[in-house]
Amino acid sequence: QASRRCDIAYEFGDGSVAYDDIPDPLPFDVEAPVIEIPAEFFGIFYMDCMDDMQKYDGKTVRFLAQVCQTPRAGKDSFVPGRFAMTCCVQDIQFVGFPCRYDAYKTLKQRDWITLTAKVNLKYHPIYKGQTPDSTGPVLTAVKVEPAEKPLDDVVMFS
């Protein structure tokens, strides 16, 4: 799989260069009633959602995630997400979105779940310093189901 952050350049015999500026399609349908995020593409979804938040505002998404119970998530909330690697093992970090879920206390730290949730752009302190106005994707759980750990539990951003 090629990195989505690469530039493709075509060099011609006369020395001129043309860059491929055709946008890469996302590996999931953002126009579907429920946007199904394949497990191996969570990193791409996370980056696209943070880079183009308006695209997901008001949409429903479904993805495989690990539970992170943290007070930073806010009242009656947790953070579903994945461990992600940008470059090397030393930079692995957890990335996810705050998610409101009344039964959040029933979830155990690092449990695997399949989450169906509604995305809304809202102010949330977890985004302080990440976005200009501390606004970002805040999820509201519609359905939370137990899930199996995937073969690759660390995702990439490419």
Rounded CA-CA distance 104/88 in Å is 32
Does a structural domain hold residue 126?
yes
Inside any domain, residue 12:
no
Q: For residue 4, is it within any domain?
A: no
- The answer to whether residue 82 is domain-embedded is yes
Indicate if the pLDDT at residue 3 is higher than 60: no
Judge contact between 30 and 59, C-beta under 8 A: yes
pLDDT for the residue 158: 66
Asked whether residue 108 is assigned to any structural domain, the reply reads: yes
For residue 32, pLDDT beyond 60? yes
Kindly indicate the confidence band of residue 22, based on its pLDDT and cuts at 50, 70 and 90. Answer: confident
For residue 48, tell me if it sits in a domain: yes
Domain of 78, in residue numbers: 26-156
* CATH code (residue 43): 2.40.50.140
Considering only CA atoms, which of 66, 52, 59 is closest in space to residue 36? 59
Residue range 36-95, pLDDT digits in tens: 999 999 999 999 999 999 999 999 999 999 999 999 999 999 999 999 998 888 889 999
Q: What is the pLDDT of residue 1?
A: 42
Residue 16 lies in a domain: no
Domain count, the chain: 1
Identify the sign of the CA torsion 62, 68, 69, 72. negative
